[in-house]
């Protein structure tokens, strides 16, 4: 007789601890070593699929899974799952964002120590029956500088462990939570260059996104000490493998510890294969999360979520849950878009300004719903939209898909604090039926000195206000400036002296660089304290294509152009 229980397919090695939870109510089928064709053939029988990083969950496989309700990734990265196709088919994708953090951090430390003490070389030597002690003199970690790029969950866990070794820890992460860094005795630096020059050990813990892809290439490696060692237990592609191999061969860098590669597994004749074979490289086959404990954690985490979903409840960490539920769509959709874009504007503008004020990304926000918005039944989608907007520009799309289910958890994990408030006082005063105000607080308990304001006074709150008109998101205030522009497209935002000729200057630089201006608005000063940059204005230009960093640098080298940022929405 056919089983009445829903069926779960597990084509990879997933820890038994979670699977035990499934056994009571579901039929589980562990089938390792299936080919893609075999998987395609059997998938129509299953309600749930549990994978790690090896199974390619393609659009074709998902479409063939006529009964599939959930794909669970026992780990963080869903790079191997076609999330867009799953969303279109109404299949929920869940993951375990925190279950393997400690494992990845400890593996980083393992590679750091193995590289420092020539563990693999010494081990291979003695196994060959040799005893060549003098060849393998290493270095100690105590008193050395550990430089961390990406002070997130894994990066800070590495820092906490490294404190025990007596290391001096510095980090570069423009979007980090300063108090969490200070609590882990991490000194935040303003540039990657500072880390490259100071590092004895250099480790990367960022997502693989446009700004981190190829982040370490020949130019960066050439700034490092010849005694420095470099580690990557995050994602392949952040260190240029060819450049690293050349630096190791030239002896301009002392060693590397690598767990992840641009293509996995690396092909035989690839640069990655040459790196792996290099005597100064300690390499592992993507073992960051491969501990019994981490596998138990991620297995229990995703199996619990599979049970929730198959019983009709909401999971904890859905990668593709909506920001907004269908019944709320009509009222909330334009505001969800507004708040998400305000968050994205905040991160890209304040986190990436070039010029006088510099970067000043903060992590404590007040989000106030003014006027008729104060009557909303639920603000959950708006909260989620803000978290998504703040984090999307600095996250890999597959690693961090923020939605109403996971927004609070993601914000907490990233050290972002959002205080929501409702008010009916200011909307009328400002001439709107409703608007949203986002205020990033100035208090920074950080190891960094606070960024001085233009007046040299302590930094002030950063404020963005927006409203919806005709279904479009508008910005009515940006910092000290009264604005009125549609928050859409590629925007170049320049702060400049409010004096004749500035628009021409900016237009000329952009024209010479082949950049078209589709729209331009000037935002006058309205909210500044006396003496605080009195003679200033903002210029907001919708541009195409997005200006390169060199163009922005040229702009701010022009007289009277104080700073500029690019915001792509
Ligand atoms: N090897 C493994 O098995 C394994 C296991 C777990 C996690 N990982 C990988 O480790 C990495 C870190 O994971 P996490 O959980 O700590 O992520 P996280 O999101 O908690 O932290 C990432 C940090 O990178 C920062 N960042 C983003 N862009 C940056 C930039 N351009 N410059 C500097 N910093 C930037 C973010 O602000 C954030 O603080 C991810 O790539 C993840 O996929 C690998
Ligand atoms: O994304 C992850 O969770 C890690 O890279 C681990 O992948 P794995 O489950 O295949 O070991």
Q: What is the DSSP string of 351-364?
A: TS-EESS-----SE
> Is this prediction's ipTM beyond 0.90?
yes
The protein residue whose alpha carbon is closest to atom 9 in ligand 1 is: 234
Ligand (nearest to CA of 173): 1
Tell me, what's the pLDDT at 405?
Answer: 78
Tell me, what's the pLDDT at 450?
Answer: 45
Q: Verify that 391 and 428 share a domain, yes or no.
A: yes
Domain count, the chain: 3
Contact 519, 513 (CB under 8 A): no
Q: Is 76 in the pocket of ligand 2 (CB under 6 A)?
A: yes
- Domain annotation covers residue 321: no
Using most ligand atoms within 8 A of CB, pick from 234, 257, 298, 387 the residue to mutate for ligand 1: 234
- Domain annotation covers residue 90: yes
Q: Verify that 54 and 155 share a domain, yes or no.
A: no
Using most ligand atoms within 8 A of CB, pick from 75, 152, 290, 291 the residue to mutate for ligand 2: 75
Residue 235 a catalytic site member: yes
Q: Which domain holds residue 51?
A: 7-98+293-310
Exposure letters 282-301 (e unless 16+ CB within 10 A, then b): bbbebbbbbbeebbebbbbb
Query: How many residues are present in the chain?
Result: 569
Q: Is 288 in the pocket of ligand 2 (CB under 6 A)?
A: yes
pTM above 0.80, yes or no: no
Q: Which of 86, 152, 56 is nearest to 318 (CA)?
A: 86
Condensed to tens digits (0 to 9), the pLDDT of residues 144-192 reads: 999 999 999 999 999 999 999 999 999 999 999 999 999 999 999 999 9
- Calculate mean pLDDT across residues 515-523: 95
Active-site residue identified among 264, 296, 420, 532:
264
Tell me, what's the pLDDT at 452?
Answer: 46
Tell me, what's the pLDDT at 456?
Answer: 54
Two structure tokens written together for 302: 């995703």
Active-site residue identified among 52, 73, 107, 286:
286
Using most ligand atoms within 8 A of CB, pick from 161, 205, 289, 406 the residue to mutate for ligand 1: 205
Exposure letters 420-440 (e unless 16+ CB within 10 A, then b): eeeeeeebeeeebebbbbbbb
CATH number for the domain spanning 298: value is: 3.40.50.720
The DSSP H or E segment spanning 45 is none
Q: Is 100 in the pocket of ligand 2 (CB under 6 A)?
A: yes
Contact 459, 397 (CB under 8 A): no
Give the atom of ligand 1 at the shortest distance from the alpha carbon of 100. Answer: 6
User: How far from 56 is each of 61, 73, 93, 301, 470, CA to CA, in Å?
Assistant: 9, 11, 14, 21, 43
Q: Verify that 429 and 545 share a domain, yes or no.
A: yes
Two structure tokens written together for 97: 């964002």
Check whether 451 has a pLDDT greater than 50. Answer: no
Ligand (nearest to CA of 152): 1
Ligand (nearest to CA of 213): 1
Residues 6+ apart with CB under 8 A from 352: 174, 359, 565, 566
Confidence of residue 458 (pLDDT cuts 50, 70, 90): low
Most confident listed range (333-337, 374-378, 485-489):
485-489
Q: Verify that 86 and 105 share a domain, yes or no.
A: no
Residue 47 a catalytic site member: no
The protein residue whose alpha carbon is closest to atom 1 in ligand 2 is: 77
Q: According to the 3-state scheme, what is the secondary structure of 365-392? A: EEEEEEEHHHHCCCCHHHHHHHHHHHHH
Active-site residue identified among 52, 235, 444, 495:
235
Q: Verify that 435 and 413 share a domain, yes or no.
A: yes
Q: Verify that 160 and 219 share a domain, yes or no.
A: yes
Going from the Cα of 387 to the center of ligand 1, the distance in angstroms, rounded, reads 17
Going from the Cα of 105 to the center of ligand 1, the distance in angstroms, rounded, reads 11
Check whether 446 has a pLDDT greater than 70. Answer: no
What does the alpha-carbon distance between residue 201 and residue 517 come to, in Å, rounded to a whole number? 45
Q: Verify that 167 and 40 share a domain, yes or no.
A: no
Average pLDDT over all residues of the chain: 92
What does the alpha-carbon distance between residue 205 and residue 196 come to, in Å, rounded to a whole number? 15
Q: Verify that 82 and 228 share a domain, yes or no.
A: no
Range with the poorest average pLDDT among 33-42, 149-158, 269-278, 323-332 = 323-332
Condensed to tens digits (0 to 9), the pLDDT of residues 51-95 reads: 999 999 999 999 999 999 999 999 998 989 999 899 888 899 999
Condensed to tens digits (0 to 9), the pLDDT of residues 383-424 reads: 999 999 999 999 876 555 788 878 888 899 889 999 999 998
Q: Verify that 88 and 198 share a domain, yes or no.
A: no
CATH number for the domain spanning 562: value is: 3.30.1330.90
Mapping DSSP to helix (H, G, I), strand (E, B) and coil, where does residue 434 land? strand
- Domain annotation covers residue 318: no
If one counts every other C-beta atom within 10 angstroms of the C-beta of residue 323, the result is: 25
What does the alpha-carbon distance between residue 154 and residue 372 come to, in Å, rounded to a whole number? 42
- Domain annotation covers residue 454: yes
Range with the poorest average pLDDT among 104-108, 298-302, 433-437, 446-450 = 446-450
Q: Verify that 416 and 531 share a domain, yes or no.
A: yes
Using most ligand atoms within 8 A of CB, pick from 173, 390, 412 the residue to mutate for ligand 1: 173
- DSSP H helical segments within 164-291, as ranges? 178-183, 192-198, 218-221, 241-250, 271-277
CA of residue 310 relative to chain centroid, distance? 30
Contact 395, 342 (CB under 8 A): no
Contact 226, 197 (CB under 8 A): no
Ligand (nearest to CA of 155): 1
- Calculate mean pLDDT across residues 24-46: 96
Q: Verify that 431 and 560 share a domain, yes or no.
A: yes
CA of residue 475 relative to chain centroid, distance? 25
Q: Verify that 132 and 277 share a domain, yes or no.
A: yes
Residue 327 a catalytic site member: no
Residues 6+ apart with CB under 8 A from 500: none
Confidence of residue 375 (pLDDT cuts 50, 70, 90): confident
Sign (positive or negative) of CA dihedral 450, 453, 459, 464: negative
The protein residue whose alpha carbon is closest to atom 10 in ligand 2 is: 53
Q: CA torsion angle for 380, 382, 384, 389 (degrees, to 10)?
A: 180
């Amino acid at each position: 007789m056919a089983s009445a229980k829903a069926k779960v397919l597990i084509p990879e090695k997933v820890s038994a601890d979670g699977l035990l939870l499934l056994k009571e109510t579901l039929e589980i089928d562990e089938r390792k070593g299936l080919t893609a064709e075999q998987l395609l053939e059997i998938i129509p029988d299953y309600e749930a699929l549990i994978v790690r990083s090896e199974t390619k969950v393609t659009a074709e496989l998902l479409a063939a899974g006529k009964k599939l309700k959930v794909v669970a990734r026992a780990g963080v990265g869903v790079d191997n799952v076609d999330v867009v196709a799953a969303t279109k088919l109404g299949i929920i994708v869940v993951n375990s964002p925190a279950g393997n953090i400690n494992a990845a951090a400890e593996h980083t430390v393992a590679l750091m120590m193995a590289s420092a003490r020539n563990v693999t070389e010494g081990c291979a030597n003695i196994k060959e029956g040799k005893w060549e002690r003098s060849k393998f003199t290493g270095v100690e970690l105590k008193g050395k500088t550990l430089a961390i790029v990406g002070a997130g969950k894994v990066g800070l866990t590495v820092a906490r462990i490294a404190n025990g070794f007596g290391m001096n820890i510095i980090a570069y992460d423009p979007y980090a939570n300063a108090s969490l860094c200070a609590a882990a005795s991490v000194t935040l630096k303003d540039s990657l260059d500072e880390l490259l020059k100071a590092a004895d050990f250099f480790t990367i813990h960022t997502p693989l996104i446009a700004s981190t892809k190829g982040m370490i290439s020949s130019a960066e490696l050439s700034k490092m000490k010849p005694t420095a060692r470099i580690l990557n237990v995050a994602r392949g592609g952040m260190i240029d493998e060819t450049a690293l191999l050349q630096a190791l061969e030239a002896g301009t860098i002392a060693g590397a510890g690598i767990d992840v590669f641009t293509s996995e597994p690396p092909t035989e004749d690839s640069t990655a294969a040459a790196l792996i074979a290099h005597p100064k490289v300690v390499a592992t086959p993507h073992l960051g999360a491969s501990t019994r404990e981490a596998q138990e954690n991620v297995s229990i985490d995703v199996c619990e979520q599979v049970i929730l979903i198959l019983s009709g409840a909401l999971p904890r960490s859905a990668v593709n849950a909506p920001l907004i539920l269908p019944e709320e769509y009509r009222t909330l959709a334009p505001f969800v878009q507004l708040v998400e874009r305000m968050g994205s504007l905040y991160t890209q503008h304040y986190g990436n300004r070039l010029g006088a004020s510099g970067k000043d990304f903060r992590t404590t926000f007040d989000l106030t719903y003014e006027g008729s918005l104060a009557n909303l039944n639920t603000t959950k989608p708006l909260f989620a939209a803000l978290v998504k907007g703040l984090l999307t520009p600095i996250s890999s799309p597959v690693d961090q898909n923020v939605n109403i289910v996971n927004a609070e958890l993601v914000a907490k994990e990233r050290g972002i604090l959002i205080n929501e408030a409702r008010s009916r006082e200011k909307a009328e005063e400002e001439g709107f039926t409703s608007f949203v105000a986002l205020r990033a607080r100035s208090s920074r308990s950080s190891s960094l000195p606070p960024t001085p304001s233009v007046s040299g006074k302590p930094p002030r709150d950063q404020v963005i206000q927006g409203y919806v008109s005709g279904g479009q998101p508008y910005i009515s205030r940006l910092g000290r400036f009264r604005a009125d522009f549609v928050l859409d497209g590629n925007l170049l935002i320049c702060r400049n002296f409010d004096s004749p000729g500035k628009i021409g200057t900016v237009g000329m630089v952009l024209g010479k660089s082949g950049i078209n201006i589709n729209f331009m608005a000037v935002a006058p000063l309205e909210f500044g304290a006396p003496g605080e940059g009195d003679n200033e204005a903002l210029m907001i230009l919708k541009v195409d294509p997005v200006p390169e960093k060199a163009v922005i640098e040229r702009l701010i080298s022009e007289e009277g152009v104080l700073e500029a940022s690019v915001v792509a929405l």
